Amino acid sequence: MIRAAGAVLWRKGPRGPEVALIHRPRKADWSFPKGKLVPGETPREAAVREVREETGMVPALGRALRPAFYFKGWRLKRVDYWTATVEGPERFVANREVDRLEWLPVAKARRRLTHDRDRRVLSASARKSRL
């Protein structure tokens, strides 16, 4: 099984809660920051590391969400997610994996997400977010 972790970043926007979506040019998709665990790393540690690597921001993890499961080729992938806010500045830093980040209201984020599995994660996160 492939193990990964990530977070749904939330903030208070001018018209209500907003979530951060990232664009990965290599996959041409919009998703949440996430990535594979490295040996010896917990899912929580991986979520923090991946958010920092993909966005340049430091997440403050909140509530855990149900893991997402899907197949990557013939292998099952498990992604552990948390709700999160950003500690410190919300300055996105583009990198080799992620070229854009957008803060969007929930309804617009739902339409922008590429994968249905991420829409389910967003719905679960919206129920657990405390904004």
Please report which residue ranges of 11-115 form alpha helices under DSSP H. 43-55, 106-112
> What distance in Å separates the CA atoms of residue 69 and residue 44, rounded to the nearest whole number?
17
Helix (H) or strand (E) segment spanning residue 36? strand 34-36
* Segment 97-117, tens digit of pLDDT: 999 999 999 999 999 999 999
Output the CATH code of domain 2-128: 3.90.79.10
Query: pLDDT at residue 127 above 90?
Result: no
* Segment 8-67, tens digit of pLDDT: 999 999 999 999 999 999 999 999 999 999 999 999 999 999 999 999 999 999 999 999
Query: pLDDT at residue 131 above 70?
Result: no
> What distance in Å separates the CA atoms of residue 59 and residue 7, rounded to the nearest whole number?
8
Query: pLDDT at residue 122 above 80?
Result: yes
User: First and final CA of the chain: distance in angstroms?
Assistant: 34
- Mean pLDDT in residue range 120-126: 94
pLDDT at 130: 65
Helix (H) or strand (E) segment spanning residue 17? strand 16-24
- Mean pLDDT in residue range 61-90: 96
Higher pLDDT, 13 or 130: 13
Helix (H) or strand (E) segment spanning residue 118? helix 116-128
**pLDDT band at residue 71, thresholds of 50, 70 and 90?**
very high
Helix (H) or strand (E) segment spanning residue 105? strand 100-105
Query: pLDDT at residue 129 above 80?
Result: no
Those residues with Cβ within 8 angstroms of residue 45's Cβ, 6 or more apart along the chain or in another chain: none
